Amino acid sequence: MNRAKFTDRWHRKFLVRSREISLRILSALSFKKSREWTFRRCKEWILLLQKLSIDGFLVDAEGIWNLDESGFRLAELYGIVYTERDVKEAVGYVKETKTDRENIILMAMENAAGKMPLPLILYKGKMHIESHSGTHTTLAIWAQIHRG
């Protein structure tokens, strides 16, 4: 039995025959972290912020820091997919893999005053300690947690 060959020519003819379909670039991401934000966890987070505010920790904008590892998508997967015509962006979702966000993490930090020191790159199994005292007045040391 002859197998079909999906060459560039075949794909072009398919698009000519199917006017309602077009080619788009697919951006697929793993959203494991988003499932962890339940209603209960959000409520706990809001209560923690309220307590910090009452205790006076949120008064000085220079001292309010946000550490974000989710803002950087290190393992994006791209490919070409068929979609409905006029779709601007095709988004796909992939299952979490064991190596997803495990081998490398990019940690970004910014305070409420808009200052942002250089990001940290944390590698699996490596201890990384760095002082960011040169970028702001308070000494801050960040270290990676070993992951098995």
Number of domains in the chain: 1
What whole-number distance in Å separates Cα of residue 26 and Cα of residue 22?
Answer: 12
Partner residues linked to 111 by β-bridges: 65
How high is the pLDDT of residue 4? Answer: 64
Question: Taking the complete model, does pTM exceed 0.75, yes or no?
Answer: no
**Domain span holding position 101:** 22-143
Domain-located, residue 11: no
Count Cβ atoms within 10 A of the Cβ of residue 50 and give its class: 0-12 exposed, 13-18 middle, 19 or more buried.
Answer: exposed
How high is the pLDDT of residue 134? Answer: 46
Domain-located, residue 60: yes
Query: What is the full per-residue pLDDT of the chain (148 aa) written as tens digits?
Result: 466 677 878 878 888 888 877 777 665 555 555 566 678 888 888 898 888 888 888 888 777 777 765 544 445 555 666 677 777 666 655 555 555 445 556 667 777 888 877 766 665 555 544 444 444 444 344 443 444 4
**What count of residues does the chain have?**
148
Give the amino acid at 83.
Answer: T
